[in-house]
Amino acid sequence: MSEFRAENLSKPGAGEHTASASREPTRTGPLSEAKLLGRRTPPVAAEAAVRAAQPGGYQSLTGLLFGYALLIAGNGLFQTLIPLTMLGAGTSTLVVGLVQSCYYGGFLAGAVCNRRLIDRIGQHRTFVAFAAAAAILASAFSLIQSPWAWASIRFLTGLAFMGLYTSIESWLNGISRNENRGQVFGTYAAINYLAIGTGQFMLRLGDGADSRLFSLVAALFAAAVIPVSLFEGWPVRVADESLERLPPHSWRNSLRSMAQASPLAIPGCILAGFLYSTFYSMTPVFLQRTGFSTSELSTFMGVALIGALIPQWPMGRLSDRIDRRRLVYATAMVSMSLSLMLAVLHFAAFVWAGMLAYVAVTFTQYGLIVSHIHDRTQPHLRVSVSVTLLLLFSVGGLSGPAIASLLMTAIGPTGLFVFNALVSLLMALSARRALRAIR
């Protein structure tokens, strides 16, 4: 069966054809081609998009979200396994940070080419192709003992995951509405943290130098293809002649429109990239340098990331009622306070409690920022805006681990918390500026 079914929505003499086509099962999906390619959706396609946004439309998400959970569980294990493997091989903290930054360099490269690929082959095939590529790269990591090769693998892995995230997040924004976008993103984030936290506990199956763990990562990436391939519910291709084409929306136009819509958009996404990437990349280094065993590190990372899902849905629901910029400001101030305390107080009980609280608060910020920006985005621009948001996040992700590793080299492992405090302060100032600029 063809992956997409063409529908003629505009020809005046197509009544009989339309009637017969209506008797066929309609394969609704994340985005019509009109929305995916940045064109205005015709009335009939618009009605289909509205139907997909209703509660029943979420049933078609089952395969995608299950596959996404497997991917993220594998990536969570992969992200923590990499620094442990490199430290076990005698690599310095600075080199670990630089190699981890290459993941977000791949994100940047993916932002340039992945959107065109999605336009050409669709979200379904993009997901399958990049999941397979990620499985191959995970298998290759354990076979090579060169920082240059590790950096290349991280770069290509980032490129693959950029394609995966773009497909998924553009679809989520396509079906959500302003009044429920916070809840939709909260649910998505909860799945993300539950899966990535579960991946951390898999470290207990071996140690940082155990190549079997890389095979497990590859198996999870490959398994993600199965539910995506078996479940239906992918985009309906709309006949091109029925679409009103829009001028291309360039990166510069996207950035300009986002900056005009909200002063929080650009600095918020970059700073969120700093915080998120540094936690994933450098927290295992901090824990290993301060005496945590592999088992203790696995437990800590798993508990922290699963704990991060607890506030996601409540925060999303709260953000549908309270200005999202105010919540970004409040969470950033709390993150800064916790980081400063962690930089000063080093006893084990407080490190556990403080870092768990820090993760729970800080990891709500990107979802709040994305929801705030999409509140002010025209529907037909949501794909390009989603890609631009990930691009900005990647800029922060590319720089964050490298800068944090420099501070950790200069002042010791607690340099991680000094970095977090400074970035959180900048986030709070950006949110405050946005509140003053737009009422």
> What pLDDT shows up at residue 250?
61
For the whole model, what pTM was predicted?
0.72
> What pLDDT shows up at residue 60?
54
Q: How far apart are the first and last CA of the chain?
A: 51
- Report which of 38, 31, 32 is spatially closest to residue 377, judged by C-alpha positions: 38
- Angle separating helix axes 181-201 and 62-88, nearest 10 degrees: 40
> What pLDDT shows up at residue 379?
67
> Per-block average pLDDT, block size 10, for the chain (439 residues)?
38 43 39 38 40 45 78 91 87 89 87 74 79 93 88 93 80 63 69 86 78 91 86 51 49 72 86 92 89 86 84 82 90 95 88 90 89 76 73 87 92 93 95 80
Whole-number Å distance between alpha carbons of 138 and 144:
11
Whole-number Å distance between alpha carbons of 377 and 369:
13
Whole-number Å distance between alpha carbons of 403 and 399:
6
Q: What is the three-class DSSP state of 7?
A: strand
Are 374 and 173 in contact, with CB atoms under 8 Å apart? yes
The H-assigned helical ranges of 145-293 are 147-175, 181-201, 211-223, 225-230, 251-261, 265-289
Residue with token string 């390009």: 384
Tell me the Cα Rg of the chain. Answer: 22
Q: How far is CA 155 from the centre of its chain?
A: 16
> What pLDDT shows up at residue 72?
92
Cα dihedral 127, 131, 132, 134 sign: positive
> What pLDDT shows up at residue 193?
79
The answer as to CATH 3.30.750.24 being correct for domain 61-233+250-437 is no
Q: What residue type is assigned to position 225 of the chain? A: V
In the chain, where the domains are located:
61-233+250-437
